[in-house]
Amino acid sequence: MFDTHHSFLMRKSTLLIALGFIFTLGFIFTSQARADKTESPDTRIVTIYDNGTQKAIITKALTVKDALEQADVVIDPADIVEPKLSETLVAKDYKVNVYRARPVVVVDGTKQLRIMTAAQSPKQIAKAAQLTYYDEDTAKVEPITDVIQDGGAGLKMTIDRAMPVTFTQYGKTYEARTQATTLGEMLKEKQIILGPNDATSAPLTTQITAGMKVAVWRNGKQTITQEEVIVKPIEEQKDMDHASGWREVKTVGQDGKRNVTYEIEMRDGVEVSRNAIASVTTLEPVKEVVAIGAKVMGAYTTPSENEIMTWNFLIAKGLTREQTAGIMGNLMQEHGFNTTGDGLAQWTGSRKAKLMAMEDPYNITTQLNFLWSELSGGYSSTLARIQSSVTVEASVVAFQNGYEKCGICVESRRIQFAYNILASH
Give dist(CA 114, CA 102) in Å, integer: 10
Q: Of 304, 281, 158, which Cα lies nearest the Cα of 227?
A: 281
What is the length of the chain? 425
Q: Of 350, 364, 264, which Cα lies nearest the Cα of 305?
A: 364
Please tell me whether residues 214 and 187 are part of one structural domain. Answer: yes
Q: Is 191 in a helix, a strand, or coil?
A: coil
Please tell me whether residues 244 and 330 are part of one structural domain. Answer: no
- 55, 73, 98 - which closes a domain: 98
Please tell me whether residues 339 and 417 are part of one structural domain. Answer: yes
What is the predicted pLDDT for the residue at 36?
A: 47
pTM score: 0.46
CB of 403 within 8 A of CB of 389? no
Give dist(CA 171, CA 209) in Å, integer: 21
Please tell me whether residues 418 and 323 are part of one structural domain. Answer: yes
Please tell me whether residues 312 and 379 are part of one structural domain. Answer: yes
Please tell me whether residues 271 and 319 are part of one structural domain. Answer: no
Please tell me whether residues 58 and 3 are part of one structural domain. Answer: no
Please tell me whether residues 231 and 329 are part of one structural domain. Answer: no
Please tell me whether residues 323 and 420 are part of one structural domain. Answer: yes
- 295, 311, 329 - which closes a domain: 295
Q: At 270, which amino acid appears?
A: V
Q: What is the CATH number of the domain that holds 201?
A: 3.10.20
Chain centre distance of CA 413 = 62
| Phi and psi torsions of 217, nearest 5° | -140, 165
Give the chain's domain count: 6
- Which residues span the domain enclosing 362? 303-424
Please tell me whether residues 284 and 312 are part of one structural domain. Answer: no
Q: What is the CATH number of the domain that holds 312?
A: 1.10.530.10
Please tell me whether residues 70 and 82 are part of one structural domain. Answer: yes
CB of 233 within 8 A of CB of 211? no
Full pLDDT tens readout for the chain, 425 residues: 445 545 545 555 555 555 555 555 555 544 444 444 444 668 999 999 998 899 999 999 999 999 999 999 999 888 999 999 999 999 999 999 999 988 999 999 999 999 999 888 999 999 999 999 999 999 999 998 776 665 566 899 999 999 999 998 887 888 999 999 999 999 999 999 988 888 898 999 999 999 999 998 888 888 888 899 999 999 999 886 777 778 999 999 999 999 999 998 888 778 889 999 999 999 999 999 999 887 665 556 789 999 999 999 999 999 999 999 999 999 999 999 999 999 999 999 999 999 999 988 988 989 999 999 999 999 999 999 999 999 999 999 999 999 999 988 999 999 999 999 999 99
Please tell me whether residues 147 and 113 are part of one structural domain. Answer: yes
- 77, 98, 119 - which closes a domain: 98
